[in-house]
Amino acid sequence: MHFCNMLKKLQQHWKVNGINLVMIILTFALGGSLCGWAGRKILLFTNIEKGVVWILLYIILITILWPVCVLLISFPFGQFVFFKKYLSKVWNRMSGKKTGRANLPHYNIAIFASGAGSNAKKIIEYFKDKHSLVSIGLVVCNNPAAGVLNIAAADHIPVLVIERERFSKGDGYLPELKRSGINFIVLAGFLWKLPPVLIHAYPKKIINIHPALLPKYGGKGMYGQHVHDAVISNKEKQSGISIHFADELYDHGEIIFQATCELAPDETAETLAQKIHVLEHRHYPAVIEAVLKKQNPR
């Protein structure tokens, strides 16, 4: 029972699912074994007899070899990303890089998404190695079959699958967000309207991206192909993206940034969607970063 509790605590601490936890433990074990074997093999070539000097050299060798061995083993077990982050944290602690950072602001972002998660993927990639003071702490999704959940799993990001009744008419899953230390929310293709409880809990700390130019092409039902069809039907010369602070209304709130693209005479919803995706992937992560730099996460 004590062992099971220990495993649960490790799972929560590392924010991984059960399968990944097993793979991580195996990687630790096999990496340590490989490290010990390699250290002994290297010392065989020195002809040093076992004694104090041999033990000291062995300790130095396995200390140097352990990170390399663990990373090598992590590849076939699919845990390279986890161990890269883990070893980076260990190194930062050993080198004292965390000194003086305790009082600096830290953003722990929740990404809300409903579909494939291409924008979520770009955001995760953008902040993965670039920012030590920005982390993606949670992916929230209203669709249990959404592709964004696979993206989260691949990067060992915890997920929260929500249902409409509690989200819209209940507590908005605010306890889970607070428990995860979330202090900023990014909507990336999330199709539900936000409840007032979340808007009030995160004032000016929720941003959304819309695949058209607001305020003209926003509102209920204006998402995906629907919005592109509307733009083309109205024979617009331009479309684009709008990044804005979210409020209780669909596609409403202060506009932070817009970018445009030209429409071709033979434009279709599909070709326009491709142009919009390029703008989204190019601008959204950088705009998020710019907004965070202007705010205090607390």
Give the catalytic positions in this structure: 210
Q: How many residues in total does the chain contain?
A: 298
Torsion of the alpha carbons at 276, 281, 283 and 289, rounded to the nearest 10 = 150
Q: Write down the residue that tokens 């992590």 correspond to.
A: 74
Closest CA to 161 of 170, 173, 151, 169: 173
Cβ-contact 293, 184 below 8 angstroms: no
Q: What is the CA radius of gyration of the chain?
A: 24
Measured from the Cβ of residue 74, the count of other Cβ atoms closer than 10 Å reads: 24
Write the DSSP assignment of 247-267 as a string of letters. -SSTT-S-EEEEEEEEPPTT-
- Contacts of residue 91, defined as CB under 8 A and 6 or more positions apart, other chains included, come to 97
Distance CA 81, CA 140 (A): 21
* Bond from prior residue into 144 cis (ω within 30 degrees of 0): no
CA distances from 198 to 111, 138, 161, 166 (A): 14, 15, 16, 12
CA distances from 185 to 112, 139, 199 (A): 7, 10, 10
Tokens of 264: 């071709």
Tokens of 63: 């200390």
